[in-house]
Amino acid sequence: MHQKSEGLIQVEDLELAYGENLVLKQVSFQLIKGTCLVVMGGSGCGKSTLLKAMVGLLAPVDGKVFIAGKDLWDSNHTERATILRKFGVLFQGGALWSSMTVFENVALPLETYTDLKEGEVREIVRYKLSLVGLGGFESFYPSELSGGMRKRAGLARAMALDPEILFFDEPSAGLDPITSKRLDDLINELKESSGISFVVVTHELASIFEIADHSIFLDAEERTLLESGDPKSLVYNSNNPKVVDFLTRNA
């Protein structure tokens, strides 16, 4: 299995498609350990498609995805399963099981993938829920929670197995500005306190400027990565009008 030694995630010349429909081509970037990478761009530019390739859900047409030096898509089933254990994923809406309580949702990965005893699972679940500000909500069902609380419960579940990398797909979608800001603050706190690395797909400007250490900009027309860098710097230093327009819209 081919290996690389650069960033925690290293993407090289990635090409993605659904059948004959080319979505992205010649996409290269890296995620540095302990940082937050934001994947940004307008609707239909391939943000979520790129995320799927990075978390093992969509095989590339061409190119490489290295995770901690190991080639995700040039590995056998056992090797890939080991790589994927480094991940936690928060899907849009939180994707919680509606028939399970918050406690049961967060406990599920621990019960499925570890041999921990019931008391140990209970302790970890309560700790993870306390980290996201949901201590005391263990017995609530998702339908009894606000949108922001469901996102935080989904985050607690994504963190259950102590991942090295957390992937978020539009975490602020459907949230009011105050709740969205709290989620951004939580991402920054977890990055600083736990050393977790983040890949966040979003088009929300407030979140982009709040959480991103680095960013990549995807374009639907060119079907590729147009620009990368700190978004605060790109506002002033990018020579690409599409990037500047995106980052200064409604400003």
Query: What residues are paired with 17 via a beta bridge?
Result: 22
Q: Write down the pLDDT at residue 86.
A: 87
The predicted-structure confidence for 133-167, as pLDDT tens digits, reads as follows 889 999 999 999 988 888 889 888 988 988 999 99
The pairing of strands 214-219 and 224-229 is: antiparallel
pTM over 0.75: yes
Stretch 172-193: mean pLDDT: 84
Q: Write down the pLDDT at residue 94.
A: 62
Reply yes or no on domain 1-86+204-251 having CATH 3.90.1150.10: no
DSSP 58-116: S--SEEEEEETTEETTSS-HHHHHHHHTTEEEE-TT----TTS-HHHHHHHHHHHH---
Are the CB atoms for 85 and 56 separated by under 8 Å? no
pLDDT level of residue 250 (50, 70, 90 thresholds): confident
Query: Using CA atoms, how far apart are residues 206 and 181, in angstroms rounded to an integer?
Result: 8
Is it the case that residue 2 has pLDDT exceeding 60? no
pLDDT level of residue 1 (50, 70, 90 thresholds): very low
Query: Using CA atoms, how far apart are residues 155 and 187, in angstroms rounded to an integer?
Result: 10
Query: Using CA atoms, how far apart are residues 155 and 242, in angstroms rounded to an integer?
Result: 32
User: What six digits make up the tokens of 143?
Assistant: 């339908």
Q: Write down the pLDDT at residue 5.
A: 45
The predicted-structure confidence for 41-52, as pLDDT tens digits, reads as follows 988 899 999 999
The predicted-structure confidence for 186-233, as pLDDT tens digits, reads as follows 889 888 888 889 999 998 899 999 999 999 999 999 999 999 999 999
The predicted-structure confidence for 27-69, as pLDDT tens digits, reads as follows 999 999 999 999 999 888 999 999 999 999 999 999 999 998 9
Query: Using CA atoms, how far apart are residues 184 and 181, in angstroms rounded to an integer?
Result: 5
Stretch 235-245: mean pLDDT: 93
Q: Write down the pLDDT at residue 217.
A: 96
Question: Within 13 A of 24's CA, how many CA atoms are on the CB side?
Answer: 31
pLDDT level of residue 15 (50, 70, 90 thresholds): very high
DSSP the chain: --B--SSSEEEEEEEEEETTEEEEEEEEEEE-TT-EEEEE-STTSSHHHHHHHHTTSS--SEEEEEETTEETTSS-HHHHHHHHTTEEEE-TT----TTS-HHHHHHHHHHHH----HHHHHHHHHHHHHHTT-TT-TT--GGGS-HHHHHHHHHHHHTTT--SEEEEESTTTT--HHHHHHHHHHHHHHHHHH--EEEEE---HHHHHHH-SEEEEEETTTTEEEEEE-HHHHHHH---HHHHHHHHTT-
Query: Using CA atoms, how far apart are residues 211 and 190, in angstroms rounded to an integer?
Result: 11
